Amino acid sequence: QGATFWFTARLRKSTQLPALHEPLPDVRGKRVLVVDDNPRARALLSQQLTTLSFQVLQAATADEALALLGQAGPGTAIDLAFLDWKMPDVAGVDLARQIRSLGSVVTPRLVLVGSHGREDLRPAAREAGIDALIVKPINPSLLFDTLISLLGSPGGVRRRQRRAQAHWAGTSQDLLPVRGARVLLVEDNDLNQEVAAGILRLAGLMVDIAGNGQIALDKVAQNPYDLVLMDMQMPVMDGITATLAIRQREEWQHIPIVAMTANARDSDRERCLQAGMVDFVTKPIEPEELGRVLLRWIPDKSGSDSGAEVGAASAAPAEAAGSGAVESPSLLERAVLQIPGLDVGQGLRRVIGSIPLYLSLLRKFVSGQRDVPDQILQALDQRDWDRAEILAHTLKGVAGNIGATGLQQLATELDALVSERADPDAALELTGRLKSQLAVVVHGIESQLSPAVPAAPVAAPAPVVDEVARQQARQLRQRLESLLADDDPDAADLLAQHAELFKRELGANYRALEAGIRGFDFPAALQALRGAGGS
């Protein structure tokens, strides 16, 4: 008392778009569960929700909450649950894990209610599959915003996309010191490769990809890298073995190696550090977390020629990332939002709002993961625990990448159970539940998203008779060639916007061009474009 404190804060103008308020869409009668051992707090939150026209159920314990969720059936499903962070019988984060493990086709959105000063719960909440965190005392405006973000209308997809892109635009400016750096991404799963490579390239980095540790060793011997992102579990040679081999060479001691892992166990982190890794990035990858790691370990490139060159080439993508096809948001609104178990907002955030990239991930998820439970069952039957663990571990990461949070939680539990090698019967039972939920997600994606490549043969190119149209085609083709030459993911947006024009212009070469862009093989796509001739 009696002391005076002062400070000066210099803040950059926010690049994030403001949240847009809108009437609550179709929430009358939606069922919400409030779980809190404190009767007063439970009653207060229930009253606020009732005022907003929700049908509110209450539970004083975790057992009561699980019983209510278990009783819910068609037409009586609980849409959202508020979980107190600390209760006598079980913590809110642990209760969230139990809810996710129920394996219900329709899993409620989960909100953790914490106390003031406990914002540190956020990482554990995210790992447990919790969708949002709010702090007591609950402000009505904050409650409203949380409900809008979790139960918003289809138009919210556009806003989430724009906010993700605007936020990444600001983050990309922070990453200017590392633009032009060369990074080796060591990852065996093509979906994880696409996510990580897309984020890195949007940040202005040059990315090489290795499918296992042995390929990584060959690439490190051939090229100078500023940083290596190393997955832990891979065929042929895993990340730990590859890191140990790199650290044995004196000339490679300076290369920072960052672990990419879906495991958060202390034992796994200790193994990484002992092998010579310097840091960790959790999977599914959070763009902001990856950005912080890049800044921490890559030397400042802002004064180098390569950094300036790549920075100039990459400035546009961060600003124009939202220039995707007009029909893409409509596709998401009609289809993806109706797929049970898929959180579109989370998926878009992980790909920085790029709808073409997100749709590509969904299709790759279907093709690469549909048979994984059967493969796990076969591995368990043969007592091949290592194989079963790798499959569950991979599914856990890729499910998180697309926003399939319930599926991700089941895969997380199976990964942990299989790693213990102790209870094959429980592993078989959990794999069966995983198979059922995966089938629901896969069926939803397949039934509502069109195939990536049309089955019908591409028609022969038609003549362009109008000089204005010919000039437009020439300009678009030059623009696409420039994007591909710069390894710029905006090429996918441009192709989606003008697919019919490029089909007409390129004829039979269009298939190779599209396959190269969708697979992020930009040199192959560029070769197909240049080899097509035309205007």
The 10s digit of each residue's pLDDT in 443-499 is 888 876 655 444 344 444 444 345 555 666 777 888 888 888 877 777 777 787 778
Alpha carbon distance 281, 297 (integer Å): 13
pLDDT score recorded for residue 318: 37
* DSSP per residue, 293-329: HHHHHSPP-TTSHHHHHHHHHHHHHHHSTT---THHH
Average pLDDT over residues 213-225: 93
The 10s digit of each residue's pLDDT in 142-152 is 777 677 667 75
* DSSP per residue, 27-67: -TT-EEEEE-S-HHHHHHHHHHHHHTT-EEEEESSHHHHHH
E strand spans, 155-296: 182-186, 206-210, 227-231, 257-261, 279-282
Does 232 score more than 60 pLDDT? yes
Query: Which residue ranges form the domains of the chain, and what is each CATH number?
Result: 31-152 (3.40.50.2300), 176-319 (3.40.50.2300), 467-530 (no CATH)
pLDDT score recorded for residue 321: 37
Please give the residue that has the higher pLDDT: either 76 or 15.
76
pLDDT score recorded for residue 219: 94
Please give the residue that has the higher pLDDT: either 29 or 56.
56
pLDDT score recorded for residue 342: 79
pLDDT score recorded for residue 107: 73
pLDDT score recorded for residue 91: 86
Alpha helix positions (H), 58-189: 62-71, 92-101, 122-127, 140-151, 156-174
Query: Reduced to 3 states, what is the DSSP secondary structure of residue 377?
Result: helix
The 10s digit of each residue's pLDDT in 263-273 is 656 677 788 88
Q: How many CB atoms neighbour CB 63 within 10 A? A: 13
pLDDT score recorded for residue 310: 44
Please give the residue that has the higher pLDDT: either 1 or 377.
377
Among 73, 86, 77, which residue's Cα sits nearest to residue 33?
77
- Tell me if the pTM is above 0.85: no
Contact 20, 45 (CB under 8 A): no
Does 96 score more than 80 pLDDT? yes
Alpha carbon distance 535, 533 (integer Å): 7
Band (24; pLDDT cuts 50, 70, 90): very low
pLDDT score recorded for residue 265: 66
pLDDT score recorded for residue 341: 77
- Lowest-confidence pick of 54-63, 75-84, 167-176, 350-359: 167-176
Query: Reduced to 3 states, what is the DSSP secondary structure of residue 525?
Result: helix
Contact 442, 362 (CB under 8 A): no
Please give the residue that has the higher pLDDT: either 524 or 25.
524
- Lowest-confidence pick of 168-182, 384-398, 479-493, 518-532: 168-182
Average pLDDT over residues 505-526: 80
